Structure formats: C-alpha cells, structure tokens
Amino acid sequence: MSTLPGKVALVTGSTSGIGLGIATALARAGAKVMLHGLGSAEEVQRLSSELARETGVQVEVNQADLRDPAAVQEMIRATETLLGGVDVLVNNAGIQFVSPVEDFPDERWNAIQDIVLNASFRAIRAVVPGMKARGWGRILNVVSAHGLVASPYKSAYVSAKHGQVGLTRSVALELAETAITCNAICPGYVRTPLVEGQIASQAEVHKMGREQVIRDVILAVQPTRRFVEVEEVAALALFLCGDLARSITGAAIPIDGGWTAR
C-alpha cells in the first residue's frame, strides 16, 4: 500500500543492514529515496538501481562521509536538489568500536560521536526549516538498546547513543505543536555487518570463540535468545512515518527481544 506517495526520504547509512531495510520499506510505500552510505560507488549504484526497478520510485545516491560537518550539509542540499525537500529523515548511520575505556583511542571515540550523534544533530538542524514550511515531517533516529542501557567496552557507542535519545526528546518537545514527530528506535542485536564485526572483536576482548560470543555475550542479553530481523525494525520505522503515529513523539521505542525489560 502506498502510504508515503511523493514524500522524500533520506536514510543515512542505507547502503547496508538496517538502513537498507528501512529505505526499502519507505520506497515500497511510495517515497522517493536518497540512499546514503560508504562503500564502492559501483555497489551503491547497483543497490539504487535494484530498488528503483523493484519499487518504481526515484532513488538517488549520496556518499557523504558523516564525520565531515560540511558533507552533512551538502548531503541535505543534494537531496533537495535531486528529489525535493526532505519529509522523512532517518538518522541511521553508525559504527562500533569495542575496547576497555583506558585504551580507547581518541580517533575512534571522535568518529563514533561524529557519525552517530553530531551528524544526527546537523541533519536535523538542516531539515527542520523545510519540514516546518511544508507543515509535515518525520524524524527517526535509529539508536539502540544501548541508548537506554550500557554494556562494558562500548563507552563511546553507549555515550553517543544515550546522546541520541536526549536529542530525540529535546527536538520532539520543540516541534510538538507542529505536524513533525521525532522518535528513537532502539533495536537489540540485529545480524548485520556491524554485528558480524563485533562478534570478532568481542571474541578477542572476552577471549572466547565466535559461537560462544553469540551465545554468552550477544544473545545472553536478549531474553528471546534470537536476533531481531531487519524487516521488523523497518516495519516499525514505516509505522512511525504514518498518520496513525502522529501522537508518538519523543519516544525511545525498544525493539530488543525484552533486553531492556530486565
């Protein structure tokens, strides 16, 4: 069903994993989509052509490195030029780095803050005036259960994700009397390339094998004992973009198999 016909959606980090799932769901609902992310230009172009062919909507590509403030601005400008003003902004791009706090390198700390928290703020700041002028908007921050609770060895990620929840709440309050909502989606573990990388690094930090890390570290925190599927997160994102979700704003919604219910 076309619930977002003609709307323009920018999904950061949508060349992979959860972002690609959300971009696909929004395109299937009729939105024009800006796919965004790093990776080979050829591969990203292939994803874009495939999505456009499957859904019949216009799909464009942007490869801004979100560590660069000017690139964030330029990504918004390119979306407006190629597709029109951004109606749905999904701040989804993210990276992870696992290390004891005393060894945490500045460069990794700063990259996580820039990509996860600072780029979300910069993108929101850039799209809100247009959303206000058009009288409608949806801002979704793909956060994490780690926006609500912590785990060891993830000080930068947990700090940035808690920051994104604060950003979500503050922006939601500022926009509460408009038809623009701002929400945080807080998934538990979803088996994407980001988590595959973590399985390897957690194995090293915890001195365990891969299967043991999946069982005793990763799924140990998720009472359902299974990974959340990308499609489940995408369905929640799509619901939050609909008119029936207009009273949901400033929420941090867990989709985590019961992790944060403990």
Q: Is 33 in the site for ligand NAD (CB under 6 A)?
A: no
Which residue lies nearer to ligand NAD by CB, 56 or 69?
Answer: 69
> Could you give the CA distance from residue 127 to residue 58 in angstroms, rounded to a whole number?
20
Applying CB under 6 A, which of residues 23, 29, 31, 115 lies at the interface with ligand NAD? 115
* Among the residue ranges 31-39, 166-174, 204-212, 244-252, the one whose residues contact ligand NAD (CB under 6 A): 31-39
Is residue 153 part of the annotated active site? The answer reads no
Which residue, 76 or 142, has its beta carbon nearer to ligand NAD? 142
Q: Which of 24, 48, 92, 249 contacts ligand NAD by CB under 6 A? A: 92
Q: How many residues bind to ligand NAD according to rule CB under 6 A?
A: 26
To ligand NAD, the closest distance from the beta carbon of 177 in angstroms equals: 29
CB-nearer residue toward ligand NAD: 21 or 250: 21
Point out which span in 9-17, 132-140, 204-212, 245-253 binds ligand NAD (CB under 6 A). Answer: 9-17
The full 3-state SS of the chain, as one line of letters, equals CCCCCCCEEEECCCCCHHHHHHHHHHHHCCCEEEEECCCCHHHHHHHHHHHHHHHCCCEEEECCCCCCHHHHHHHHHHHHHHCCCCCEEEECCCCCCCCCHHHCCHHHHHHHHHHHHHHHHHHHHHHHHHHHHHCCEEEEEECCHHHCCCCCCCHHHHHHHHHHHHHHHHHHHHCCCCCEEEEEEEECCECCHHHHHHHHHHHHHHCCCHHHHHHHHHHHHCCCCCCECHHHHHHHHHHHHCHHHCCCCCCEEEECCCHHHC
- Contact pick of 78, 82, 179, 195 for ligand NAD (by CB under 6 A): 195
Segment interacting with ligand NAD, rule: CB under 6 A, options 78-86, 97-105, 130-138, 193-201: 193-201
**Residue 257 interacts with ligand NAD (CB under 6 A): yes or no:** no
**8, 9, 10, 18: which one binds ligand NAD (CB under 6 A):** 18
Site stretch for ligand NAD (CB under 6 A), options 124-132, 187-195, 200-208, 237-245: 187-195
Q: Taking CB under 6 A as the rule, does residue 194 contact ligand NAD? A: yes
Q: Report yes or no: 37 and 16 within 8 Å, Cβ to Cβ.
A: yes
**Least separation in angstroms between CB 115 and ligand NAD:** 5
Q: Which of 1, 133, 193, 244 is in the footprint of ligand NAD by CB under 6 A?
A: 193
Catalytic residue among 109, 153, 157, 189: 157
- Burial annotation 93-128 (CB, 10 A radius, 16+ → b, else e): bbbbbbbeeeebeeebbebbbbbbbbbbbbbbebbb
Question: Contact positions toward ligand NAD, by CB under 6 A?
Answer: 13, 15-19, 37-39, 65-67, 92-95, 115, 142, 144, 187, 189-190, 192-195
Kindly list the catalytic residues: 157
